[in-house]
């Protein structure tokens, strides 16, 4: 294999070194392209552009492979849990028992919200979207911890372990409080004797007069949803987090920006869109066949299908498909929209339109059905995605901060007006 790539522009040849990843991916190192040739590359949407070298997560979209720090998602889903996998993402290795216990303790010690912050939850419009609230409240949390949000990279890195535990814990409290405020319910404080998911479910859905730990199977289903969403290399929201971090901004600002990016219906907002789509199909009496035709002629988009990277079945969707079954059975919940989802999948996977475009179910296709069965309202689905993805964002913030990376600043191809003189208003 050649150790360099040659690019011919006009009559000139330019040679660029190759970078080889540990999974034998090859990248052409074009960092000197502009200085040598005064040309730049153009890659709308960055589908062919490596923005960084990273050790956090590996995806092979053609083979449907996903690994956190080298551990296959299938093994983590079967043998690990959300906090243990979060530790591996943050620190590179699975924790020892002592490390995991102190990580858990640090998280359960940080679940409380300052009263003024809790009051801040009432400052939003009554029908504010929970993702707008979450993004704002994460930055708000940072204002109560100025020693963790200094925008001095060295100091923010020194505080990172505490900041990570604080955010992983408090994001649940913010989400739970916001949910109960909307319902006019009194808040339920965190119960440190409960596990991460059980505590979140109790803070959200608990009966303040008679607090009961949630069913074990529900906790396990939510744990799996969080684990499967924990990271996904340079996706839209994680790249946003890295972009903001590259400017030296603190963890809270970077995570708040990532939450904004995740909100989009083509990204984390897809799980809500999937349920809306399935319910519309169900209510219209269609078994999904009509909808598939509309998707094929571009009138509709089959939400939960397709992916920028996976051109094979999203391994997370496979796992969630099975978990959906088990959890619904355990919860004694029948879901007519699950039957429609299964029918859509069956029809789409045998249809030339989807096969030719390599469109398969992605993580959002089944996650919404599970979240609805657990009892979350539709407008909280992307909040649940954000709680799951938080360890990934934090891991990438840390990686950028430790790497001393330059500020991210892409170039452009200018297609606007060429130079012209100012015209006074009288002459316009």
Site of interaction with ligand SDX (CB under 6 A) = 232, 235-236, 266-267, 270, 295, 301-309, 357, 359, 362-364
Q: In the bound complex, which residue of the shown chain has the CB atom lying closest to ligand SDX?
A: 306
Residue closer to ligand SDX by CB (options 111, 258) is 258
- Token pair, residue 406, equals 């330059």
Cβ neighbours, 10 Å, residue 237:
26
Q: Is 307 a catalytic residue?
A: yes
Residue closer to ligand SDX by CB (options 265, 377) is 265
- Token pair, residue 297, equals 């002629």
- CA-to-CA separations, 416 to 43, 44, 184, 262, 423, in angstroms, rounded: 18, 17, 52, 30, 18
**How many Å apart are CA 326 and CA 320, to the nearest integer?**
10
Residue closer to ligand SDX by CB (options 131, 309) is 309
Shortest gap between Cβ of 218 and ligand SDX (angstroms)?
Answer: 23
- Token pair, residue 46, equals 């960055």
Shortest gap between Cβ of 162 and ligand SDX (angstroms)?
Answer: 26
Shortest gap between Cβ of 381 and ligand SDX (angstroms)?
Answer: 12
Shortest gap between Cβ of 311 and ligand SDX (angstroms)?
Answer: 9
Q: Is 339 a catalytic residue?
A: no
Contact by Cβ (8 Å): 369, 324? yes
CA dihedral 366, 178, 185, 376 (to 10 degrees): 0
Residues 6 or more apart whose CB falls under 8 angstroms from that of 190 comprise 108, 111, 112, 169, 172, 173, 199, 203
**Marked catalytic residue, from 156, 199, 231, 364:** 364
**How many Å apart are CA 173 and CA 115, to the nearest integer?**
12
Helix, strand and coil percent figures for the chain, each rounded to 5: 55, 5, 40
**Marked catalytic residue, from 231, 307, 314, 396:** 307
Residue closer to ligand SDX by CB (options 19, 266) is 266
Shortest gap between Cβ of 303 and ligand SDX (angstroms)?
Answer: 5
Residue closer to ligand SDX by CB (options 12, 43) is 43
Rg (CA), the chain: 23
- Residues labelled as active-site residues: 307, 364
């Amino acid at each position: 294999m050649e150790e360099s790539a040659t690019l011919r522009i006009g009559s000139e040849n330019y040679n660029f070194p190759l970078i080889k990843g540990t999974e034998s991916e090859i990248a052409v190192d074009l960092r000197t392209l502009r200085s040598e040739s005064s040309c730049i590359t153009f890659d709308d949407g960055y589908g062919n552009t490596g923005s960084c070298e990273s050790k956090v997560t590996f995806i092979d979209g053609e083979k449907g492979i996903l690994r956190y720090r080298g551990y296959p998602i299938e093994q983590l889903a079967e043998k690990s849990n959300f906090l243990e996998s979060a530790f591996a993402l943050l620190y590179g290795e699975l924790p020892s028992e002592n490390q995991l216990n102190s990580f858990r303790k640090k998280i359960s010690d940080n679940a409380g919200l300052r009263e003024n912050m809790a009051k801040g939850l009432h400052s939003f419009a009554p029908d504010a979207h929970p993702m707008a609230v979450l993004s704002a409240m994460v930055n708000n949390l940072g204002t109560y911890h100025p020693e963790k949000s200094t925008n001095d990279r060295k100091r923010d890195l020194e505080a990172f372990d505490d900041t990570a535990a604080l955010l992983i814990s408090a994001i649940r409290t913010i989400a739970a409080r916001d949910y109960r405020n909307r319902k006019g319910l009194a808040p339920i404080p965190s119960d440190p004797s409960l596990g991460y998911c059980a505590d979140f479910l109790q803070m959200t859905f608990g009966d303040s007069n008679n607090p009961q730990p949630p069913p074990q199977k529900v906790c396990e289903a939510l744990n799996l949803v969080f684990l499967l969403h924990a990271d996904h290399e340079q996706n839209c929201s994680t790249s946003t987090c890295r972009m903001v971090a590259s400017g030296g901004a603190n963890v809270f600002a970077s995570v708040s920006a990532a939450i904004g990016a995740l909100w989009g219906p083509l990204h984390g907002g897809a799980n809500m869109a999937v349920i809306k789509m399935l319910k519309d199909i169900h209510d219209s009496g269609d078994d999904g066949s009509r909808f598939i035709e509309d998707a094929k002629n571009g009138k509709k988009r089959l939400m939960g299908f397709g992916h920028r990277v996976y051109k094979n079945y999203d391994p997370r969707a496979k796992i969630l498909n099975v978990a959906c079954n088990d959890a619904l059975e355990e919860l004694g919940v029948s879901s007519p929209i699950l039957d429609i989802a299964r029918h859509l999948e069956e029809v789409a996977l045998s249809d030339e339109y989807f096969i030719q475009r390599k469109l398969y179910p992605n993580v959002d296709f089944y996650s919404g059905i599970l979240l609805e069965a657990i009892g979350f309202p539709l407008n909280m689905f992307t909040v649940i995605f954000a709680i799951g993805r938080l360890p990934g964002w934090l891991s990438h913030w840390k990686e950028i901060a430790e790497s001393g990376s330059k500020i991210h600043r892409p170039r452009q191809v200018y297609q606007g007006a060429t130079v012209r003189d100012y015209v006074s208003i009288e002459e316009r």
